[in-house]
């Protein structure tokens, strides 16, 4: 599917430009139904007033009052960038429909306006073929909201089967450098809105697969199920002395490592075969997403015989956002949100690493900056026993009361530095206070209160630079001065769900792993 290249070629198409007809690009279709993108040319009094208007047309559906379900703004062909208004309109409409976290949010994302200059720069600096991945993401996400929310259910079912399913990889940021450039250029706020809008559509598709709805025709994709780790957004970049690694992963795209049924696998578990209350809970939890930001502060220093590359953890921030489920709204999904608003996954282990590319022979001498520690603190447990002895009026009643106090060592997070080959590893593991075991491996006890004060109010986690100790460093041969090295960044995050205010036996832990590379120029500065 490459509608962007088709759009860019329209003004150069002699057959289209010399007639007053329209051009059609079929997005999806079967024998009787189709979803098409149509371009209609409007002729003005002179050549400079000619323009194009795009419409999305759904044909062959009985319940539709009109086959046209969306109309674009006018795109003037005399402009240097005639299709910039089309891209801006699609982006702005995504912003207004993006599920955002309203619990204590300080940013009104619905008031965000996309600036034309960064979008125009990305369009100018990339060929139509490479920009297609960006346009496919924007268009497919916008079509999701059109077909699933603004059209009859038969259009939504057709969209899932014939359009979203075959092209679901367009809703990810894998192997698309231009998409990374595009998100960075728009800024963090716009990136968050776009990613959440796409992740919501992606989550709905994965839920449909797990439920196995026959009317969506999803069985055709079961034999070629995409790897879970490819269903999400992730990239690494460099900015102002920081290496930044980001990851946005819907819960269902993460692999199960431990759950209440003791089935450690990545196979699809059908919702209808579990207890109804648990099925609704799992449906609500499926609308959550892990949002991870890892920042390393780095520096390059030149010495007489070697070059020293230093790095330290500046920030690790993990947030679990709710995609479209907000307490106090209307509709079935928001009624579910009212009941399950306190149920949320939380980070239970964080493992990030960085180092030169694999097989680098010119980098050596990795030095870690933290000794192994096992910090523990005392918890005092007090038990009071009361008892009565004796009955009747003759014998006096005796009351006894005993107090026992014990102390035991507990720990919440254990943070360490390690090494794997030439990579420095930063590991943080959450422990259960009662059992002393890793949270990712244990079964929670009913009404367990031990983890209430470990996270932020929204259930996330922040590790600052003071948590991981001093910086780590590598030595590079001086002969590499003036070259550009590849430095790899990676992360592996575990999220765990334990019942909070809901009486259920369901629990599970999921994890996701990803990595990327950044450029490290070895250039001395003045």
Q: How confident is the model at residue 211 (pLDDT cuts 50, 70, 90)?
A: confident
Please give the average per-residue pLDDT across 3-23, as a whole number: 78
pLDDT higher than threshold 60 for residue 327 = no
- CA–CA separation, 266 and 227 (whole Å): 9
Are residues 255 and 382 located together in one domain of the fold? no
pLDDT higher than threshold 60 for residue 219 = no
Are residues 399 and 471 located together in one domain of the fold? no
Q: How confident is the model at residue 377 (pLDDT cuts 50, 70, 90)?
A: low
Are residues 402 and 338 located together in one domain of the fold? no
Lowest mean pLDDT among 48-57, 219-228, 395-404: 219-228
Instruction: Give the residue ranges of DSSP H helices in 212-347.
Output: 276-285, 332-339
pLDDT at 45: 64
pLDDT higher than threshold 60 for residue 206 = yes
pLDDT higher than threshold 90 for residue 90 = yes
Listed ranges 143-152, 225-234, 360-369, 444-453; the one with the highest mean pLDDT: 143-152
pLDDT higher than threshold 70 for residue 408 = no
Average pLDDT value for the chain: 82
Show Cβ contacts of residue 364 under 8 Å, excluding neighbours closer than 6 positions: 422, 474, 475
Closest CA to 363 of 440, 422, 442, 287: 422
CB–CB of 314/293 below 8 Å?
no
Listed ranges 54-68, 200-214, 225-239; the one with the highest mean pLDDT: 54-68
167 in any annotated domain: no
Phi-psi region of 453 (alpha: psi -120 to 50; beta: other; left: phi over 0): alpha
* Burial class of residue 80 (count of CB atoms within 10 Å of its CB; 0-12, 13-18, 19+): exposed
Q: How confident is the model at residue 342 (pLDDT cuts 50, 70, 90)?
A: confident
389 in any annotated domain: yes
pLDDT at 224: 39
Are residues 482 and 387 located together in one domain of the fold? no
Q: How confident is the model at residue 396 (pLDDT cuts 50, 70, 90)?
A: low
Q: Choose the final residue of a domain: 356, 391, 407.
A: 407
Are residues 349 and 478 located together in one domain of the fold? yes
15 in any annotated domain: yes
Are residues 320 and 444 located together in one domain of the fold? yes
Instruction: Give the residue ranges of DSSP H helices in 371-483.
Output: none
Are residues 250 and 398 located together in one domain of the fold? no
331 in any annotated domain: yes
pLDDT in tens, 157-197: 999 999 998 998 888 866 578 888 999 999 999 999 999 99
Q: How confident is the model at residue 388 (pLDDT cuts 50, 70, 90)?
A: low
Are residues 306 and 291 located together in one domain of the fold? yes
- CA–CA separation, 200 and 31 (whole Å): 30
238 vs 397, more confident? 238
Are residues 351 and 420 located together in one domain of the fold? yes
Q: How confident is the model at residue 79 (pLDDT cuts 50, 70, 90)?
A: confident
- Domain of 478 in residue numbering reads as 238-372+413-526
Please tell me the total count of domains within the chain. 3
Lowest mean pLDDT among 138-142, 324-328, 475-479: 324-328
- CA–CA separation, 35 and 144 (whole Å): 12
469 in any annotated domain: yes
The SS3 of residue 392 is coil
Measured at the CA of 402, the angle between CA 398 and CA 404, to 5 degrees, comes to 175
- CA–CA separation, 191 and 185 (whole Å): 9
137 in any annotated domain: no
Q: How confident is the model at residue 1 (pLDDT cuts 50, 70, 90)?
A: confident
> 3-state SS of 5-35?
HHHHHHHHCHHHHCCCCEEEEEEEECCCCEE
Q: How confident is the model at residue 97 (pLDDT cuts 50, 70, 90)?
A: confident
pLDDT at 50: 79
pLDDT at 387: 63
Q: Choose the final residue of a domain: 385, 407, 429.
A: 407
pLDDT at 22: 79
pLDDT at 269: 44
64 in any annotated domain: yes
The percentage of residues in the chain with a pLDDT greater than 90, rounded to a whole number, is 43
pLDDT at 345: 93
pLDDT at 302: 93
Are residues 390 and 506 located together in one domain of the fold? no
Are residues 457 and 385 located together in one domain of the fold? no
Q: How confident is the model at residue 149 (pLDDT cuts 50, 70, 90)?
A: confident
pLDDT higher than threshold 50 for residue 390 = yes
pLDDT at 23: 87
Q: Choose the final residue of a domain: 59, 85, 111.
A: 85
The percentage of residues in the chain with a pLDDT greater than 70, rounded to a whole number, is 76
**Measured CA distances, 459 to 28, 322, 345, 434, 454 (Å):** 41, 11, 8, 20, 9
Lowest mean pLDDT among 57-66, 254-263, 267-276: 267-276
Q: How confident is the model at residue 372 (pLDDT cuts 50, 70, 90)?
A: low
92 in any annotated domain: no
pLDDT at 266: 43
Give first-to-last CA distance, the chain, whole Å: 49
Are residues 392 and 459 located together in one domain of the fold? no
């Amino acid at each position: 599917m490459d509608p962007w290249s088709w759009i860019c070629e329209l003004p150069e198409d002699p057959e289209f430009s010399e007639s007053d007809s329209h051009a059609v690009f079929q997005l999806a279709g079967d024998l009787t139904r189709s979803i098409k993108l149509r371009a209609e040319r409007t002729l003005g009094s002179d050549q400079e007033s000619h323009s194009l208007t795009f419409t999305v047309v759904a044909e062959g559906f009985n319940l539709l009052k009109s086959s046209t379900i969306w109309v674009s703004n006018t795109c003037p062909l005399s402009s240097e960038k005639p299709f910039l208004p089309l891209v801006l309109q699609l982006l702005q409409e995504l912003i207004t429909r993006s599920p955002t976290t309203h619990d204590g949010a300080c940013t009104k994302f619905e008031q965000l306006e996309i600036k034309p200059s960064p979008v125009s720069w990305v369009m100018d600096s990339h060929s139509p073929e490479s920009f297609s991945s960006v346009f496919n993401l924007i268009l497919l996400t916008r079509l999701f909201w059109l077909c699933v929310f603004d059209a009859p259910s038969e259009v939504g079912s057709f969209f899932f089967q014939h359009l979203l399913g075959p092209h679901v990889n367009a809703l990810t940021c894998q192997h698309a450098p231009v998409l990374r450039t595009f998100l960075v250029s728009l800024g963090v706020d716009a990136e968050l809105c776009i990613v959440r809008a796409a992740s919501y559509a992606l989550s709905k598709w994965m839920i449909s697969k797990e439920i196995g709805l026959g009317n969506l025709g999803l069985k055709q994709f079961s034999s070629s199920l995409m790897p879970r780790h490819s269903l999400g957004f992730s990239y690494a970049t460099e900015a102002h002395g920081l290496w930044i690694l980001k990851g946005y992963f819907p819960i269902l795209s993460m692999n199960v490592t431990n759950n209440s049924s003791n089935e450690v696998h990545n196979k699809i578990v059908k919702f209808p075969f579990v207890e109804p209350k648990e099925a609704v809970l799992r449906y609500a939890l499926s609308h959550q997403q892990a949002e991870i930001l890892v920042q390393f502060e780095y520096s390059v220093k030149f010495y007489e015989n070697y070059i020293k590359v230093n790095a330290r953890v500046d920030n690790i921030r993990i947030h679990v956002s709710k995609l479209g489920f907000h307490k106090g709204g209307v509709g079935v999904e928001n009624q579910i949100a009212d009941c399950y608003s306190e149920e949320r996954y939380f980070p239970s282990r964080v493992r990030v690493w960085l180092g030169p590319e694999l097989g680098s022979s010119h980098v050596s001498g990795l030095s870690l900056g933290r000794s192994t520690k096992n910090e523990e603190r005392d918890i005092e447990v007090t038990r009071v026993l009361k008892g009565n002895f004796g009955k009747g009026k003759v014998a006096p009643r005796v009351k006894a009361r005993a107090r026992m106090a014990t102390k035991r060592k507990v720990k919440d997070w254990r943070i360490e530095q390690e090494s794997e080959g030439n990579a420095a590893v930063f590991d943080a593991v959450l422990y259960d206070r009662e059992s002393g075991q890793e949270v990712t491996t244990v079964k929670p006890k009913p009404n367990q209160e031990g983890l209430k004060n470990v996270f932020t109010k929204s259930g996330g986690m922040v590790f600052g630079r003071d948590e991981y100790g001093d910086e780590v460093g590598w030595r590079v041969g001086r002969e590499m001065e003036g070259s550009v090295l590849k430095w790899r960044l990676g992360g592996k995050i575990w999220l765990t769900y334990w019942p909070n205010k809901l009486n259920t036996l369901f629990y599970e832990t999921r994890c996701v792993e990803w990595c990327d590379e950044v450029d490290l120029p070895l250039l001395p500065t003045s």
